[in-house]
Homo-oligomer: A and B are copies of this chain.
């Protein structure tokens, strides 16, 4: 019997760089090796190089395939055979459905009754079984846990899981590799901006980057209406924001009311700070991505770009800044409204 089982609190284990490298090996040929793209700036304005990592171009249009595939691929064969279950209305659902299809594993996804048709169609197109259930995330989580227990399926959580964090960390590994070609010994170190919802992406990326480029600076980015991670990290304990507040932001993928326990443990000592962005800033960033980068971003996918474009503070440094654009699964109507509201289009 281990000490954990007799009630002694254990320090949760953190993901290691070598686990992220194993995830990268698993993901080779499965995920897109997304490039770093330069955000154009006028020739006569001396500023830091601004780069983006467009995970909107990833398989399923979001980084979520990385963690989901790594988690499912890591289930021992005898258990993997039975299948997996997840609950999500967003990119994690599509990540699990696609990863299960690629690994030829049965998948059940519990989604809200209010899920948009286009998302439902995409999950079903990947062959997953869909259960429409409940109106809150907690209700769906309970249902998924019940299914997992009864049918012997493995629950694939969206962020509070070491295999998920290691998979998302491959985004950081690729950034570090690409920067190694431009960042030489003695040259200014980079700044990386990463969105925080549940914290899985940020946890993986900060682990990979700090292990390879220890002098790099990492900022999380949150909507002002869902700045729970900022509060959690400054208070040293996980803080929950009310869903009535986080539900206000246009960045629907970042409405999580609190970050996960494991992500928190990864971020508390490694993240350099958290920046917040407004809906107006997010909309301007979506328009800039459309015009100057030819990228279609969902609001959550644009928060790091918004912080890069609007934060005078971080622009005062010297090395390159890399913003992670986490996804591009935007409702066409929301996209159109963003381009109208930003002044790109007349109404």
Q: Which residues of chain B are within 8 angstroms of A132 by Cβ–Cβ distance?
A: none
Q: Is the CB of A29 within 8 A of B294?
A: no
Identify the closest chain B residue to A34 (Cβ). B35
Q: Is the CB of A181 within 8 A of B29?
A: yes
Q: Closest approach, in angstroms, between the C-beta of A60 and any C-beta of chain B?
A: 8
Which residue of B291, B332, B333 is within 8 Å of A332 (Cβ)? Answer: B291
Q: Which residues of chain B are within 8 angstroms of A38 by Cβ–Cβ distance?
A: 59
Q: Closest approach, in angstroms, between the C-beta of A15 and any C-beta of chain B?
A: 26
CA distance A293 to B57 in the complex (A): 7
> A167 in the interface, Cβ–Cβ < 8 Å?
no
> A168 in the interface, Cβ–Cβ < 8 Å?
no
Q: Closest approach, in angstroms, between the C-beta of A63 and any C-beta of chain B?
A: 13
> A37 in the interface, Cβ–Cβ < 8 Å?
yes
Task: Write the A31-61 contact mask toward B (1 if CB under 8 angstroms, else 0).
Answer: 0111101101011100000000010110101
- Decide: A345 near B333, CB < 8 A? Known: A61-B294, A296-B290: yes
Q: Which residues of chain B are within 8 angstroms of A29 by Cβ–Cβ distance?
A: 181-182
Q: Which residues of chain B are within 8 angstroms of A293 by Cβ–Cβ distance?
A: 57
Q: Which residues of chain B are within 8 angstroms of A32 by Cβ–Cβ distance?
A: 35, 37
> A279 in the interface, Cβ–Cβ < 8 Å?
no
> A344 in the interface, Cβ–Cβ < 8 Å?
yes
CA distance A61 to B44 in the complex (A): 20
Identify the closest chain B residue to A181 (Cβ). B29
> A295 in the interface, Cβ–Cβ < 8 Å?
yes
Q: Which residues of chain B are within 8 angstroms of A57 by Cβ–Cβ distance?
A: 35, 37, 54, 57, 293-295
Within the oligomer, what is the number of copies of this chain?
2
A interface residues, tally (CB under 8 Å): 37
Q: Which residues of chain B are within 8 angstroms of A328 by Cβ–Cβ distance?
A: 294
Q: Closest approach, in angstroms, between the C-beta of A337 and any C-beta of chain B?
A: 11
Q: Closest approach, in angstroms, between the C-beta of A30 and any C-beta of chain B?
A: 11
Q: Is the CB of B295 within 8 A of A294?
A: yes
Identify the closest chain B residue to A293 (Cβ). B57
Identify the closest chain B residue to A60 (Cβ). B40
Q: Is the CB of B291 within 8 A of A294?
A: no
- Decide: A339 near B332, CB < 8 A? Known: A35-B33, A294-B61: yes
Q: Closest approach, in angstroms, between the C-beta of A204 and any C-beta of chain B?
A: 21
Q: Which residues of chain B are within 8 angstroms of A54 by Cβ–Cβ distance?
A: 57
Could you say which of A33, A44, A127, A332 has the most chain B C-beta atoms within 10 Å of its C-beta?
Answer: A332
> A252 in the interface, Cβ–Cβ < 8 Å?
no
> A143 in the interface, Cβ–Cβ < 8 Å?
no
Q: Is the CB of B296 within 8 A of A125?
A: no
Could you say which of A40, A293, A294, A328 has the most chain B C-beta atoms within 10 Å of its C-beta?
Answer: A294
> A336 in the interface, Cβ–Cβ < 8 Å?
yes
Task: Write the A209-235 contact mask toward B (1 if CB under 8 angstroms, else 0).
Answer: 000000000000000000000000000
> A261 in the interface, Cβ–Cβ < 8 Å?
no
Q: List 10 A-B contacts (CB under 8 A).
A: A42-B125, A43-B101, A56-B294, A57-B57, A57-B294, A290-B296, A294-B297, A332-B339, A336-B339, A336-B345
Q: Which residues of A contact B (CB under 8 A)?
A: 29, 32-35, 37-38, 40, 42-44, 54, 56-57, 59, 61, 101, 125-127, 181-182, 290-291, 293-297, 328-329, 332-333, 336, 339, 344-345
